[in-house]
Structure 1
């Protein structure tokens, strides 16, 4: 077979762009195929617009605290047109980084159209047939829509179309209490909508329950309503309203419905069955090197079974680029996988939660806990919500759960600790700028060695401990 390219990449989201750009920069001839917007879900209807909306909502929340720290403020006046413009301006500012022009400058041949396999090493885009010895599938995911009676009879929202709302919802009903549901619930409530979240199970179920409880308490104080139950039916009402009926008979009326129950791999319509690529319950089946059962075909990002996060997609894209260009087998390692939910306060997790670590290590597990109520920067800022929990097996860190202001920014040291590239002893003895919230990380690391350093509690232990933990100049 005579190849047209060294590698074909299907999908120009976080995973595909990283893989295509990496291969092109190494000098390979790359075909990059995208049928929708360049940048994929993260840029156009995921991370970027949601964080822009969250930023606007935080401004409104601050203004609502009309008398604090001796500062009096007037009540927030929300302009939905202005919020909408801010969200789309954020997308527009970042779009050039993911643009067709940029990747063509890198050396990629960019094809805009639908891709379909017509052979094990052949992909057709419109009337063009491309051929390559290596093919990377990075087609992403789409919102999962549950089988609720009547849901197709109303214009429901997902993360793909909520950014196009022309007015602020009067009462936003959200089906799903995961990351998207919780972030949007708090944001729209702060902007002035009534909000009700319906969730049959645990809110933010993959996170540490103690961390989630802090966020739920905060959102309840902001009058977000939480209802436990499973939505079974949606009935249209007058003037665009609707009623959601739950399995226990409860009825919840609203003006806008957001469906946020998870993601579904986008793998239909690409001809995968024709060439015998194996798929599972929710995506293409891959090995640790992200290879499908057809070893020359890789699947990265949301289209394969596994964690669905933008930074995971980028990680897998770079791994595959290294393997294709340099021949270096690269296996994924999820032992230090981080993620963050950008509620206020944020919930951040890396590695194992306490529950997972207890199941894995049993009596060998030690949980170190530090509260922001002892962090002097948090006290000075008047925001001591939250804590950090560090899970250790012996002296090895296996996970950390953080809830608090800017919790996601505190995850980086734990990437190094969990992978063994740094130690709790080194972190506990580090000199850290005062006053910062990152001192809580040092305090937790120091706690891991307290028994070793001090042995039995000596006289003046509390004073000595406090001095060592802070190591602040006199």
Structure 2
């Protein structure tokens, strides 16, 4: 008979969300079982955020690294971070870690590693994997995904990438900077979920670096010749290269869990949950991160962990929201966004929306460092920022002040009143906020009358 464990909390998946939840819960006094069937740290550490940014960083080094050295830099980066996500660390915190695949055996039990776990609450944090589209001939051609591209030992002569989203565009730039010929095939618009004007700034920069980008172009079939060359047939003609990367999206990891046995409703997008991230059909089960069917970002999984810990451990009401979630594409220039898009804001608020822009070319620090390409934009409704997009150097860092403002419903005056060091790129945000007030102060006849009146009476 299998050994039975009875923890307060059983977490399935040791990626960003699962690890954050496990560490927080056990340190707050809960007993925790953490189950991971693959690698500790999940996709972000092993195949996603960490290796992709390390490869981008390697491509920007002066002098540039060889391709082999760049991949060695990726592995070394992962190895430096691994201990923080390791089984040893979490067992040291008091978490029971089981390294096996989990499956539900009833609405309140899970089996893994020859053990049965009967927990008070279960949290599904299984993340996602690359989605491979049904392209004719693809099953007979060797292709790469973000899970395999970092294992390449030799530099691709010509990398074809199907997918012009953040992963595809980041890998396109990284490989171009490392000396590869790169062609991107995108069925719609590249970086299509971002503000189109701002995305175009990044797209044009990448084209200028020599990346060939075919937008509104579908990959219809894939073949491989006798000499190993890979050809992608498109509606606009064939494209031939040495390697093929599939980067068209993600698929949630739920298939192995036997969710039907647990009475957990789910779709192809994830577990069906309420705003509190609790399963609508099994109150013992929660889902966080990609498994919850929402935004697929590592920081969202961490945020979700903080939401459910309030409910699971403290019995407090807590709901997840999405209006304050930022995201970044780490190309050069970077593309960052938080809140509503300009189009969505106009659709919701109509004419009561103000859009303010500020080019990096007008910023002293950008001029001094030669980083003048880019633009920052903020959308304001009734004196409060409701959305912001930045395309430019360090956009991922600069978007933070707008994420703070939107998360806390701050007025744009809070940013205008902030004193920032000179010269810094961060001044672009203060200048944006100042631009909101400038016409109200400097173009107002009433303000001018008040000033003249006050000046007459001042001693």
**TM-score, scaled to structure 1:** 0.91
**Superposition deviation, residue 58 in structure 1:** 1.3
Question: Are positions 1:296 and 2:284 aligned together?
Answer: yes
Q: Is the 8 A contact 1:20 1:321 kept in 2?
A: no
Structure-2 residue corresponding to 1:258: 245
Question: What is the CA–CA distance in structure 2 between the aligned matches of 1:394 and 1:418, rounded to whole Å?
Answer: 13
In structure 2, runs of 5+ residues without a counterpart are 449-459
In structure 1, runs of 5+ residues without a counterpart are 64-75, 461-474
After superposition, give the CA deviation of every residue in 1:439-472 in whole Å (9 maximum; x if it has no partner): 1100111112223333427999xxxxxxxxxxxx
Match of 1:41 among 40, 43, 56: 43
C-alpha change, 1:18 and 1:420, in structure 2 (3 Å) is closer
Q: Is the 8 A contact 1:5 1:31 kept in 2?
A: yes
Question: What is the CA–CA distance in structure 2 between the aligned matches of 1:303 and 1:198, rounded to whole Å?
Answer: 28
Q: Is the 8 A contact 1:23 1:324 kept in 2?
A: no
Structure-2 residue corresponding to 1:5: 7
Q: Mean alpha-carbon deviation: is it higher for 314-323 or for 25-34?
A: 314-323
- The 5 A counterparts of 1:60-79 are 76=64, 78-79=65-66
Secondary structure (helix, strand or coil) at the match of 2:39 reads coil
- The 5 A counterparts of 1:170-189 are 170-189=157-176
Structure-1 residue corresponding to 2:358: 370
Q: Is the 8 A contact 1:12 1:34 kept in 2?
A: yes
Question: What is the CA–CA distance in structure 1 between the aligned matches of 2:407 and 2:28, rounded to whole Å?
Answer: 28
**TM-score, scaled to structure 2:** 0.94
Question: Are positions 1:57 and 2:48 aligned together?
Answer: no
Structure-1 residue corresponding to 2:412: 424
Question: What is the CA–CA distance in structure 1 between the aligned matches of 2:103 and 2:419, rounded to whole Å?
Answer: 56
- The 5 A counterparts of 1:8-407 are 8-59=10-61, 76=64, 78-228=65-215, 229-246=217-234, 248=235, 250-293=237-280, 294-407=282-395
Question: What is the CA–CA distance in structure 2 between the aligned matches of 1:420 and 1:39, rounded to whole Å?
Answer: 30
Question: What is the CA–CA distance in structure 2 between the aligned matches of 1:387 and 1:457, rounded to whole Å?
Answer: 31
Question: What is the CA–CA distance in structure 2 between the aligned matches of 1:354 and 1:260, rounded to whole Å?
Answer: 27
Question: What is the CA–CA distance in structure 1 between the aligned matches of 2:211 and 2:131, rounded to whole Å?
Answer: 24
Q: CA RMSD in A?
A: 1.6
Question: What is the CA–CA distance in structure 1 between the aligned matches of 2:425 and 2:30, rounded to whole Å?
Answer: 45
Question: What is the CA–CA distance in structure 1 between the aligned matches of 2:239 and 2:92, rounded to whole Å?
Answer: 52
Question: What is the CA–CA distance in structure 2 between the aligned matches of 1:255 and 1:162, rounded to whole Å?
Answer: 13
**Superposition deviation, residue 249 in structure 1:** 5.1
Question: What is the CA–CA distance in structure 1 between the aligned matches of 2:103 and 2:447, rounded to whole Å?
Answer: 74
Structure-1 residue corresponding to 2:455: none
Question: What is the CA–CA distance in structure 2 between the aligned matches of 1:411 and 1:7, rounded to whole Å?
Answer: 35
**Superposition deviation, residue 431 in structure 1:** 1.8
Secondary structure (helix, strand or coil) at the match of 1:238 reads coil
Secondary structure (helix, strand or coil) at the match of 2:351 reads helix
Question: What is the CA–CA distance in structure 2 between the aligned matches of 1:283 and 1:274, rounded to whole Å?
Answer: 16
